[in-house]
Structure 1
Amino acid sequence: MKIGSPLRVAAVAVQKPDTAVTTTHAIELKRTDDHDADRTGINELPVSTIASGPDLAVGAARSALAAARWEPSSLDFIGHAWIHHQGHDFWSPAHFVADSLGAHRAMPVGIQQMCNGGAMGLELAATRLLADPTARRALVTTGDRFADEGFDRWKGDYGVWYGDGGTACLLERADIVSPHDVTLRSIVSKAIPSVESLHRGVDEFTPAARWLSPTTDVRRTKKGYIDARGLDEFHRISRAALREVVAQAVSEAGITLGDPRISSITVPRVGRTLMQETYASALDGMTKSHVSFTAAQSGHLGAGDLAANIEHVERTAPELDGHIGLFVSAGGGFTFTCAVIAFGAGAW
Structure 2
Amino acid sequence: MRWSDIHVKAGAVALGRREDTATAVADGRYDPDYCAAHAYESVCVAKDDELALDLAVDAARRALSRSGVDSAAIKLVVYVSSTPGGPDGIVPASYLQGKAVGVGTASALEVRQTCNGGLAALELAAAYLSAAPAGWSALIATSDKHQLPGAERYRSDPGNLDADGAAALVLSRGSGVARILSTVVLGDGRFSDVVLDGPQNYANRQEFLAEQRRRLQPMLASASALQRESVATALAEAGVLSAEINRWVFANVGRMMVDQEFRKEFGIEESRTTWDWGRTVGHTGTADQFAGLTHLLETGAVHVGDRVALCGNGVGFSHGCAVVDIVDEPEWSADGQD
Tell me the TM-score range normalised by the shorter chain.
0.7 to 0.9
Correspondence for 1:283: 263
- Partner of 2:192: helix, strand, or coil? helix
Aligned match of 1:215? none
Counterpart of 1:78 in structure 2 is 77
Q: Relative to structure 1, is the Cα distance of residues 284 and 97 closer, same or farther in structure 2, using a 3 angstrom cutoff?
A: same
* Counterparts of 1:86 and 1:163, CA distance in 2: 14
In the TM superposition, 1:1-348 aligns within 5 A as: 1-3=1-3, 5-17=4-16, 19-49=17-47, 50-101=49-100, 102-133=102-133, 136-174=136-174, 177=175, 181-197=177-193, 201=196, 227=212, 229-258=214-243, 260=244, 262-275=245-258, 278=259, 280-287=260-267, 292=273, 293=275, 294-316=277-299, 318-344=301-327
**Deviations along 1:68-98, whole A, 9 cap, x unmatched?**
1223222010110111122222431110000
Q: TM-score, normalised by structure 2?
A: 0.86
Q: Once superposed, what is the RMSD of the aligned Cα atoms?
A: 2.5
- Cα 1:225/1:326, change in 2 over 3 Å: farther
**1:132-161 deviations in Å (ceiling 9; x for gaps):** 336720011011111112111111112111
Task: Determine the C-alpha separation between the residues in 2 that align with 1:257 and 1:118.
Answer: 22
1:160/1:270 contact within 8 Å kept: yes
Q: Is the 8 A contact 2:7 2:180 kept in 1?
A: yes
Unaligned ranges ≥5, structure 1: 204-222
The answer to whether the 8 Å contact 2:93/2:109 transfers is yes
Instruction: Sort the Cα spacing of 1:138 and 1:328 in 2 relative to 1 into closer, same or farther, 3 A.
Output: same
Q: How many residues align?
A: 315
Cα deviations by residue, 1:276-313 (Å, 9 ceiling, x for unpaired) = xx3x3213332466562242111111111110111122
2: distance between equivalents of 1:197 and 1:283? 29
One-letter amino acid matched to 1:285: E
Moved more, 128-137 or 292-301: 128-137
Question: How far apart, CA to CA, are the structure 2 residues paired with 1:21 and 1:257?
Answer: 35
Relative distance call for 1:88 and 1:247 in structure 2 (3 A) is same
After superposition, the Cα gap between the structure-2 partners of 1:64 and 1:193, relative to the gap in structure 1 and judged at 3 Å, is same
The residue type paired with residue 284 of structure 1 is: K
Report if the CA contact (8 A) 1:243-1:283 is conserved.
no
Identity %: 26
Question: What CA deviation, in whole Å up to 9, does each residue of 1:12-69 have, x standing for no partner?
Answer: 111013x332101111221112101112211111111221100000000111111112
Kindly indicate whether the alpha-carbon contact (under 8 Å) linking 2:18 and 2:280 is maintained by their aligned counterparts in 1.
no
Deviation at 1:230, TM superposition (A): 5.0
How far, CA to CA, are the matches of 1:266 and 1:226 in structure 2?
35
Structure 2: 5+ residue runs without aligned partners?
A: 199-207, 330-338
Matched residue SS, 1:197: coil
Contact 2:186 2:230 in 1 (8 A): yes
1:229: Cα distance to partner? 3.5
Q: Distance in 1 between matches of 2:10 and 2:197?
A: 42
Match of 2:333 in 1: none
* TM-score for both structures, normalised by structure 1: 0.83
Q: How far apart, CA to CA, are the structure 1 residues paired with 2:10 and 2:236?
A: 25
Task: Indicate conservation of the 8 Å contact 1:98/1:104, yes or no.
Answer: no
Corresponding residue number in structure 2 for 1:209:
none
Worse overlay, 309-318 or 123-132 = 309-318
Q: What is the CA distance between 1:119 and its match in structure 2?
A: 1.2
> Per the alignment, in what secondary structure is the counterpart of residue 76 of structure 1?
strand
What one-letter code is carried by the residue in structure 2 that aligns with 1:193? Answer: G
Aligned residues of 1:39 and 1:159 also touching (Cα < 8 A):
no
Pair 225,169 (structure 1): closer, same or farther in 2 beyond 3 Å: farther
Judging changes above 3 Å, is the alpha-carbon distance between structure 1 residues 60 and 162 closer, same or farther for their aligned structure 2 residues? same
